[in-house]
Amino acid sequence: MKSRLARLAITLVAFLIGVLVMAQFATQQRINAKRATASGVEGALLISNLVEANARLRQEVSELDVQLDNYRGTTSQAPLQAMTDDLNRLKILNGAVQVSGPGVRVTLDGPATVLDLQDLVNELRNAGAEALSLNDQRIVASTVILPQADGSILVDGVATRRPYRFVAIGDAATLETALLRPGGLLTVFSNSREGIRVNVEKHAGLVEPAHSAAGAFQYAVPVK
């Protein structure tokens, strides 16, 4: 009796183990099937995305090729030349490059003040000066001229003393006429300021140095 019960118990346990094994196998099969299905969908999406990305890249390459062909054409040099001219003008305006050209050299000697020098800078600019320097220091839009206790002046932090020699590049005849006109700034200096001597000379070829700190922007950036 006990032997039969034991065999029955063993058979039942074996059956249950078999059922569990089969259930586990079936479950694993379903999981693998789901993974395979999921991988296929993800792969299809990935392939689709790659195809679309490649299509976009091919379109961009085609557009760039067209632009390059336009730039390489004989008539397409105008935009490049215009951009080059604009860049050169900006470099001249901010003093990033050495410049040369016709203009005038103005020598101011005597007890001139910082305000006198600033007035003369404005006078030259108003007369059409395209580039300015004072005692070999390039003057740009951000230039600051300050007095010192020892009688010297600072031009953008660089000490300089009289005589003050301005170099202005532009139309020499126009600059000379504007500076020496009756009632003009230099006439006022000569007639009403004791000890100040002024001399204006026209030159066909003058040279001005680049600004010592041209383009040294730390915070300002172009707006996109």
Same domain, 143 and 199: yes
- Say what the pLDDT of residue 193 is: 80
Residue 105: how many CB atoms within 10 A of its CB? 16
Split at pLDDT 50, 70, 90, the class of 5 is very low
- Say what the pLDDT of residue 194 is: 83
Same domain, 62 and 117: no
Same domain, 133 and 201: yes
Query: Does some domain include residue 85?
Result: no
Split at pLDDT 50, 70, 90, the class of 152 is confident
Q: What one-character DSSP code corresponds to residue 187?
A: H
Query: Does some domain include residue 218?
Result: no
Above 90 in pLDDT, residue 211?
no
- pLDDT (tens digit, 9 = 90+) per residue, 130-139? 999 999 999 9
222 upstream amide cis, omega within 30 of 0: no
For residues 152 and 159, the answer to whether their CB atoms sit within 8 Å is yes
- pLDDT (tens digit, 9 = 90+) per residue, 174-195? 999 999 998 889 988 888 888 8
Residue 61 token pair:
């390459």
CA dihedral in degrees (62, 64, 69, 75; nearest 10)?
A: 130
163 upstream amide cis, omega within 30 of 0: yes
Distance CA 12, CA 4 (A): 12
For residues 179 and 117, the answer to whether their CB atoms sit within 8 Å is no
For residues 158 and 137, the answer to whether their CB atoms sit within 8 Å is yes
The rounded mean pLDDT for the chain is 75
The tally of domains found in the chain comes to 2
- Say what the pLDDT of residue 25 is: 45
Above 60 in pLDDT, residue 70?
yes
Query: Does some domain include residue 102?
Result: yes
Q: Which domain holds residue 202?
A: 98-208
Query: Does some domain include residue 53?
Result: yes
